[in-house]
Structure formats: structure tokens, C-alpha cells
Structure 1
Amino acid sequence: MTLKAVRFAALMLAALTLGMGFCHLLQLPARMGWDQYLWVGSTVQGGLYSLFGSIGAIIDVLTVISLGLLAYLVREHHRPGVMLALGAALLFAAALLLWWVLVYPVNVELAKWVNGPVPSDWTVYRARWEWGHATISLFEFVGFAALIGSVLADTPRSGAQ
């Protein structure tokens, strides 16, 4: 694979991952005000996020792999921006790790609510789920900025600026 092809794949995948995370971040203010029936109905029982867990998970993992490969290739080709590329890979990897630490345990609990009773402390789970996703999206945002910076660092300057 060429550096340019990996860079393209990394940019596309990182943009898709950031898009999913930014979606959660933009929804947070409204969703934190929803009552139990609306929040549980849409999040747990309505399947609103079902493709996030399947297709989204694949995209997240491929993003981390492509960013790691990009950092390696930028270093191997002695191109500028290697630390930014590495930073992007580490930030997206940290975001994925945070999903496992912050959101996955809540998802396990939410799965019990599909056909069962919703506990009285459901707002604790909602807060952890929503704020967990918000935290993850901030890591992805900074990682995407680092990725863009790595590309710009290796962009030749032209006479017109």
C-alpha cells in the first residue's frame, strides 16, 4: 500500500468515526432532558443505535488500524508529521478503549431492559452512557485535528498562501 492510499483510508475512516461520535455529542443536551420512556424507548428498545454497534464498531477498529499503519508509514518514509499521525492513532485508540470502559458496561445493563423492568436509578445509566459518548467524541475530535495536522505538515507550500 502506498502512503497516499493509507492516508486517504485513514482520513475517510476517521471522519466516519468522528461523525458518529459528534452525533452523540450534539444529541446530548436534548437526550439528558428526556424522560424514561423516551430515552429508554429510543436507546434501548427502539434500535436507534443498532448499526452503531455493528457497522460502527467495524469502522472504529479499522480507523485505529489505519491510523497506526499511517503513523508507521509516515515514519518509514521520513515524512513530516509523524508525531501528529502517531498522536491521532493514540487518541482514536484511547477513544475506543474509553468506549469499552465507559459505555460497554452500560450497554450490558441496558440489554437487560429490553424486555425487563427499567430500574429506578436509570438516570445514572443514562448519564454514564451519554457523558461517556461525549468524552469519546472529544478524544476523536482532537485525534482528527492531529490527523489533519499530519497531512498538512506533509503538504508542500505553494507560492500563493
Structure 2
Amino acid sequence: MELRTARFVVIMLAALSLGVGIGHLMQLPARMAWDQYLWVGSTVQGTYALSGPLGVLLQVATIIALIVLALLLRRHGAAGFAFTAAAAVIFAMGLLIWWVLVYPVNVELAKWVNGPVPDNWAEWRSLWEWGQAANGLAQLFGFAALIASLLVRKAKQRG
């Protein structure tokens, strides 16, 4: 695979993944002010039905693509390996944050679809929202590292 094509694919995947992550970050202030009915209704039964599975799939695909791109860059001796590898690590850190903070809440929220909402729903909301925001920030920094990988030039060898 040509490096330009690989970079294009990785940038597109990373941008799509970042779109989901940054969307959560941007919505955080408003969503933290919502009452129980609005937050539970939109999160458990509505807006985020596809966002979770699709967002995780995009993020996993991005991490895999970043690793492949980093290996291609190293094999071809092209510039940008370190930033690309850093981007993979940062996106992976975001996914780890999601698994540790958000996924357990999603498991709990699944119980609320047909059951009662517990009195401590706001604690679950905080964990879910802040976990999503942290993942979004990690993706933003990972995307910045990916862009930085495009801007570095390989040092000329002195002969």
C-alpha cells in the first residue's frame, strides 16, 4: 500500500472517530444540567443508540490503522514514525478510558431500559459524561499527534 493512501485512510478514520469523541466533549456542559428524564431518555433510549457501538468500532479501527501506518513508515524509513506511534498510543489510552469509565455505566444503563432508574442516576451520569469527555480529549491529542506526523521532515543524512 502506498504511504499516501495509507495516511489518507488513517486520517479519515481518525477524523471520524474524533468527531464522535469531540461531540461528547462539546455536549458535556449542557448534558450535565439536564434533569433525569431528559438525560436518561436521550442516553438510554435515544440519541446514543448507534454512537456507542459505532464510536468504539471507529476508534478500534483507527488504532489498528495507526499501528499499521507506523509500521509502514518505519519500514520505508519515512518521516513521522514517532508521532504516528504516539497517536496510536494516545487513541488507545482514550479507548482504555472508555472501557474503564464508560462501558461499566453502559452495562448499568442497559438495566434502565425496562426497569426503574435508581436514585443515584446523577452519579452514573457524571461517570458516563466525564469518561466520554476524557476519551474525546485523548482523541483530540491523538489527532494532533497524527497531524504533527505529516509535518515532520526526515533529517538529511550527512555524508
Normalising by the smaller structure, the TM-score range is over 0.9
Determine the structure 2 residue equivalent to 1:80.
79
Structure-1-length-normalised TM-score: 0.92
1:79 Cα shift? 1.3
Q: Which amino acid letter does the alignment assign opposite residue 153 of structure 1? A: V
- In structure 1, distance between residues paired with 2:127 and 2:4: 39
Residue identity (%): 58
Determine the structure 2 residue equivalent to 1:65.
64
1:39 has 2:24 as partner: no
Find runs of 4+ consecutive structure 1 residues off by over 4 angstroms. none
Q: Which amino acid letter does the alignment assign opposite residue 59 of structure 1? A: L
- In structure 2, distance between residues paired with 1:135 and 1:57: 14
Determine the structure 2 residue equivalent to 1:18.
18
Aligned length: 154
Structure-2-length-normalised TM-score: 0.93
- In structure 2, distance between residues paired with 1:100 and 1:39: 21
- Cα deviation, 1:21-76, whole Å, max 9, x if unaligned, reads 0100010000000000000011012x211111233222111111100111111111
- In structure 1, distance between residues paired with 2:101 and 2:2: 36
Determine the structure 2 residue equivalent to 1:93.
92
The alignment yields a C-alpha RMSD, in angstroms, of 1.2
- In structure 1, distance between residues paired with 2:72 and 2:138: 23
Determine the structure 1 residue equivalent to 2:149.
150
- In structure 1, distance between residues paired with 2:84 and 2:33: 38
SS of residue matched to 2:86: helix
**Which of 138-147 and 73-82 deviates more?**
73-82
Unmatched 5+ stretches in structure 2: 155-159
Q: Which amino acid letter does the alignment assign opposite residue 104 of structure 1? A: Y
